[in-house]
Structure 1
């Protein structure tokens, strides 16, 4: 008989149909108005040939051979070993590295979404394990929003993510808003996901409600489809990486015409006079007017002037999406968007003001937050050292080098053992050829993986782990007011084990097994975390007991109603009584603290800096196309690239790249052709898709295709599959945040008229059984 079980993922909740232990299909839940198509595609990947079925050790590492040539990580074959031998190798190596090089030589900054679940959060499991064992070097910030996370506390105060509860919700925008200007767009495809899980997708219907209420939308992006068709948005096809210049031109127009909100700027902001001098060109002789902005951005001067008037005449919301800050000087569009909103007159008014990351996930703008939910408990890390998340290759290549970071000087540690769990650095990181070189430097790389993706192929010891379909847990998504049960749908493939069991076994060998597990089994942990949540929320929440929750598959959490710290409405009403957590208590248009750092790439107020690579620079003569490596619609980052949804999106087995028809015609490229993208850093093949929804001079290639270089570790080696990080620069966006600058990359594209190499991304390496 068929059984129907709850499935909870980062891209929504589904129903798994199982018969005799075999997963037949995954279906949408009936109460989800916009279910993600990624879910049903998980079935195809559940038992595909890329599953890691047994512990495996790289042959060269096992034999003690140098990491060069065919014995290098990424090129070598593997030997399967027993769990007993694998656990012995890992525990012995941890002891050796800690004893010889210190606890900080172990890198546990493992980064990635992994799978949803309160207990089986891979990074949390790893970091508790390593902290109890003596500590580890951690990473800070995220690839998604590093520049935002560092600069916003200087500008509006508070925790880096506190802005989520300080922005208007979609319902409020529908009721009170009139104009939304979205820098970087509002791509609905991104709202498929929510970190930690999601019961129902609501962003699409809430956006539609805004449009039906008469709210007008402006999409400032090189890609038209960065807003949904039903929004009927005005498209301003801006030159990539020039959003700050566009905002400066709008701000200058407001200033010289007296349209700006002088009262709010005087009472609720600090440093505007100094910034106004920059706008007017008092120091450099260059007024940042609409004509100046038009020359940089490719937008019409009258369009910029008209947008300035509309923003000040209507209840307006200035939105900025995360993509615009993953670029050279990525702090600037974030900072400048806050200043522009403060000038426009709607800051702190219902349905207006400023916001970031709308539609980036189905959480922002949907709900202000949710009550705390218990998760697998962390413990303090005895090692204080950390690296900015995007500087992992720098740390591996240049230990001992000092770098700037948010007013501090950091010394990059010497990392001898990398322990990666729940993520894919060969997706997230830029310039993968450089990362591949850096990845050869540590003594040992240990990876937990379910599939033989690129990170597993570049490891020394690979431990097979159960997927989210193969273990019990429950989810609680970011801002999502639901708990959702995650019963095990199928048995783990091969000899796979959960991350928790692996770490429990290793901790027992290393002498702290009881401290790690607290003498609870996995099922006891799941029950314990739920009941802790239930007890903390008390009678008001009225959550059912665990057994009833497990039977129902879902429970609703009470809504958060505020007031929330740092409210712009409260600031507008009474800045003395409700100051922000900034040095001045106000919005810092000019930050004396940032200015004191003396960075030549991040001044004390929003500033236009020319990107290292953009269509207005000299390099565009050699590489005349700007690469936009945005988030995919067919998977979550690189997760389930081997799933049905992602595989069906490929063009001749390769990741699709979208070109404007005029750029394609100039290169003799037709729709469906295989093309080669290249620059000085590398090259990759992709399948051409022609569309006038991409600005001329721009090509769009989503992230997440499993990297498949012809000769791994060899600089510039052709990637057969279409990973854009073959081409992006591993260059910090500034000394302030050290964040990634993936969206500042120029390329050329040409028709690939040679024999096509087979895609081997989903083929395991040579394995001796």
Structure 2
């Protein structure tokens, strides 16, 4: 890794060198800027300095990628050219009223959007022909520049041909915008994709147990109530890397109030370095055993909050089960091993999870006697195969000790945009006014089965025999499904089997690389504007920053042009203008009243405002004027300690369990949860007990020991990108190398030293990477940042980029949600060099 800190210390910047450095880099040495209606144009330092001295304006720019922060970014625009950027300075920064400061990724947006590797023109694969041509060359073929007319004619003619030959079920649209799905739905429908990625098994476990119709993301405590905690346990949560914006800052305020932090994680993370009083390393996919070992200690030492369980819960013991259920099927007797002969003691748990029995005992005692305790988990521990027992057991642990519904207490996957700030939104945008178009085809392929379904022609749709499917066209919208779904090697195989693949994107990402036709789209910086939201207290209004680059077009323009060629009405595809949609979002935006009695209008619009925007609307009075909102680019709800907007989940339920009963069959929190078991059985992949139990994950710790893959892989969110977005930015690549984490003792046993190149192999594929040898990861565990763009070497049979989904297998289980962190691998030294990826040629086409 380059010594960036050393460079920064040693390099004294002149004004001219600063301008040269901060201009967008092209493939050559000169700086580059965008000119209105053009692409990137090279300028020298004199020209750059001249631009910097001209008058311009700050424009709120979209920071749209899926990191959860959605912070405030502004671009300084001079005659249509972006010369610099800044973040939130709309008010003084303070713990109670923090600025919404952007991270390194937001500050690199200029290098991203104005990158030399932007797709410039429509193009097709050289060896493509109707029906596929040389399909085996997808991902390796040359590209041929074509006109928009030719590109749209090819795509529309292939859509017509495939429909006539195979029917609408042959179209597969995995994700990425709503524009093309509107076209395909109007044209007779398409096969869609289903299954979550980020939230793991929390997605359906939480609503079934609590009756609250969300994945638990907005549950727990808001940032002020966290200061009331006595202990906060970060269980597989690393907000310093994976929840951008204010979360780590909010946790720091709790720490300053004297709150103790324990971090349970296979890695000593950035969050642990900043916050942890204690780090407990654990084996991935074994967290449920630690929870059950804690539960055993709490039960056998009379630390259970029996009054809480009797009043608010179902299924803890034999006396509190639904009518007709076998009395043996209760949680207490399962933990004690009364009927199965296996007490879930700390010693039993220690053998599996790798945490000592003494430490499990200590943790259990501290958890049960330190009320209020907040357990905040990321999605990672629940992103495991057949892992529904983890969130179920973790919530049960909170019920056993009464650590829920009390300010400062709770348990939840309080991450992403709601990390450290649970509760209902205090400000929210209105709808855009575009009516939905239903997809006539109900068939959907699961995330983890879709590639194999294309190869086999069969998919799961509930218990019983699989159903037939015949996918012959993959249409990729503005997303990265091939790169970001488990089983990427199967995905590449599927892409080389179907008759037609089309992708629309900003860059030649993995989806586009394996396509036949690629359509260049414009970014949100090049669109009219819109709204974005991050935490519950903010709403961002961004505006157009630059004109569309090169020949890029909006997703909706592409949809309408395809629709015309398919005989569809463009007015039905796009019934509401972009200007009207943004106005609808702003005019419909609401903000919580200061007396907490409900919502009121956020934005004041005068008749003159509406006329100047050229939209239809009615004047209204709101909290702030339209002009102020556009100028600031953000509305931040005013907060203070002790205000009426502090939040703790289930506080109202504890106060009135009858009048505020939950929307579960029992009206209570369900430790014994038959609806969850029924739901998973209906999906058709496997079964789950109504109780939280330990069921080893497919490709979990036990499978690795048995099958000769001794290391467990965790795939971490990584600072250089948001999932796969921005992985192509050279600045971020240099700052954050795609390293392979391995424990120092494991590395020594394999003869691996820091910076050695290693080969990592799972049952599904192999990658090579530079080793980062460290004590910051548990023994027997290895880690790689998720989201790298695959660079597969056919001759060597390895991916050089470290794309984690080469290693993760496509294993549908439970709710069908992705199990990225139950994966077994073996590691060996690789005796060939590998240049740092920031030195690799960019994917510059034309």
Q: Is the 8 A contact 1:151 1:737 kept in 2?
A: no
Query: Which stretch of structure 1 is more off in the superposition, 316-325 or 543-552?
Result: 543-552
Q: 1:497 aligned to 2:538?
A: no
1:114 maps to what in 2? none
Match of 1:284 in 2: 340
* Deviation sequence 1:148-195 (CA, Å, 0-9, x none): 21222221123233x344321121120x21112222133311111xxx
Aligned residues: 731
Contact 1:431 1:727 in 2 (8 A): yes
Residue aligning to 1:382: 440
Relative to 1, partners in 2 of residues 1:251 and 1:751: Cα closer, same or farther, differing over 3 Å?
same
C-alpha distance in 2 between matches for 1:333 and 1:206: 26
What residue in structure 2 maps to residue 633 of structure 1? 719
**Is 1:29 the counterpart of 2:29 in the alignment?**
no
Cα distance change, pair 141–402 in 1 and its aligned pair in 2 (3 A) = closer
Unaligned runs of 5+ in 1: 111-121, 193-200
- Closer/same/farther in 2, CA of residues 670 and 567 from structure 1, 3 Å limit: closer
Partner of 2:226: 173
| Distance apart, 1:130 and its partner CA | 3.0
Q: Is 1:745 paired with 2:745? A: no
Classify 1:500/1:166 alpha carbon distance in 2 versus 1 (closer, same or farther; 3 Å): same
1:184 match: 236
Contact 2:71–2:101 (8 Å) recurs in 1: no
Moved more, 140-149 or 55-64: 55-64
- Match of 2:526, SS state, is coil
State the distance in 2 between where 1:449 and 1:685 align. 27
Q: Deviations over 1:578-628 (max 9, x none)?
A: 221112211111122344566855221111112333444454673322211
Q: Are the structure 2 counterparts of residues 104 and 375 from structure 1 closer, same or farther at C-alpha, using a change threshold of 3 Å?
A: farther
| Equivalent in the alignment of 1:117 | none
1:33 positional shift:
6.0
Structure 1 equivalent of residue 778 of structure 2:
695
Alignment partner of 1:391 is 2:449? yes
The separation in 2 between residues aligned to 1:727 and 1:187, in whole angstroms, is: 25
**Secondary structure at the counterpart of residue 40 of structure 1:** helix
Distance in 2 (alpha carbons) for counterparts of 1:17 and 1:563: 36
Instruction: Give the distance between the partners of 1:322 and 1:7, measured in 2 at CA.
Output: 29
Q: 1:105 and 2:170 equivalent?
A: yes
Give the alignment partner of residue 691 of structure 2, picking from 602, 605, 612.
605
SS, match of residue 484 in structure 1:
strand
Question: In terms of Rg, which structure is larger?
Answer: 2
Alignment of 1:80-479 (within 5 A): 80-110=145-175, 122-161=176-215, 163-174=216-227, 176-192=228-244, 201-225=245-269, 227-273=271-317, 274-314=330-370, 315-358=372-415, 360-361=416-417, 363-365=419-421, 368-369=424-425, 370-375=427-432, 377=434, 378-404=436-462, 411=467, 413-479=469-535
- SS of residue paired to 1:469: helix
Moved more, 450-459 or 527-536: 527-536
Native 8 Å contact 1:426 1:455 kept in 2 = yes
- Equivalent position SS for 2:151: helix
- 5+ residue gaps, structure 2: 1-53, 65-69, 91-98, 318-329, 593-598, 604-621
Take 1:578 and 1:255, find their aligned partners in 2: how far apart are those partners? 29
Q: Is the 8 A contact 2:234 2:264 kept in 1?
A: yes
Matched, 1:46 2:113: yes
TM-score by length of 1: 0.88
2:787 corresponding residue in structure 1 = 704
Contact 1:708 / 1:761 at 8 angstroms: preserved in 2?
no
Distance 1:269 1:362 in 2: 26
Which whole-Å CA distance do the structure 2 matches of 1:489 and 1:102 have between them? 42
Query: Which residue of 2 is the match for residue 683 of structure 1?
Result: 766
SS at match of 1:272: coil
- Give the alignment of 1:573-722 within 5 angstroms: 573-596=655-678, 601-617=687-703, 619=705, 622-651=708-737, 655-711=738-794, 717-722=797-802
Q: Post-superposition shift, 1:298?
A: 1.1
Kindly state the Cα deviation for residue 461 of structure 1 after the two structures are TM-superposed. 1.6
Residue 731 of structure 1, aligned match among 797, 811, 821: 811
Contact 2:74 2:86 (8 Å CA) reproduced: yes
Tell me how far apart the structure 1 counterparts of residues 424 and 770 of structure 2 sit (CA, whole Å). 40
- SS of equivalent residue, structure 1 residue 123: coil
- Rounded to whole Å, the distance in 2 between the matches of 1:157 and 1:412 is 35
Aligned equivalents of 2:646 and 2:360: distance in 1? 36
Structure 1 position 62 matched with structure 2 position 129 = yes
TM-aligned CA deviation for residue 305 of structure 1: 1.3
**Pairing of 1:546-565 with structure 2 (within 5 A):** 546-556=626-636
- Once the two structures are superposed, what CA deviation does each residue of 1:177-214 show, in whole Å capped at 9, x if it has no partner? 1112222133311111xxxxxxxx32122101111112
Whether the 8 Å contact between 1:2 and 1:17 is mirrored in structure 2 is: no
Change (3 A) 1:757 1:371: closer
TM-score by length of 2: 0.81
**CA distance in 2: counterparts of 1:643 and 1:600, whole angstroms:** 41
In structure 2, the CA distance between the partners of 1:409 and 1:491, relative to structure 1 (3 Å rule), is farther
What is the 5 A alignment of 1:467-546? 467-510=523-566, 511-518=568-575, 520-533=576-589, 538-539=600-601, 542-544=622-624, 546=626
Report if aligned partners of 1:168, 1:355 keep a CA contact under 8 Å in 2.
Answer: no
Inter-CA distance 34–18: structure 2 relative to 1 (3 Å threshold):
closer
The alpha-carbon deviation at position 270 of structure 1 amounts to 1.1
Higher mean displacement: 740-749 or 751-760: 751-760
Partner of 1:258, secondary structure, is coil
Q: CA RMSD in A?
A: 2.9
Contact conserved, 2:85 with 2:107, CA < 8 A, in 1?
yes
Residue 223 of structure 1: CA displacement? 0.7
Q: Deviations over 1:536-593 (max 9, x none)?
A: 96547625454553334233469997899x9522332332222211122111111223
Question: For residues 234-280 of structure 1, what are the alpha-carbon distances to aligned partners after superposition, in whole Å with 9 as ceiling and x for unaligned?
Answer: 10011111100000111111112221111221221112221112111
> Alignment partner of 2:793: what SS?
coil
- Cα separation, 2, equivalents of 1:545 and 1:34: 23
Post-superposition Cα deviations, 1:440-459, rounded to whole Å, max 9, x if no partner, equal 23322221111111110111
User: Which residue does 2:619 correspond to in 1?
Assistant: none
CA contact (8 A) 1:33 1:202 kept: yes
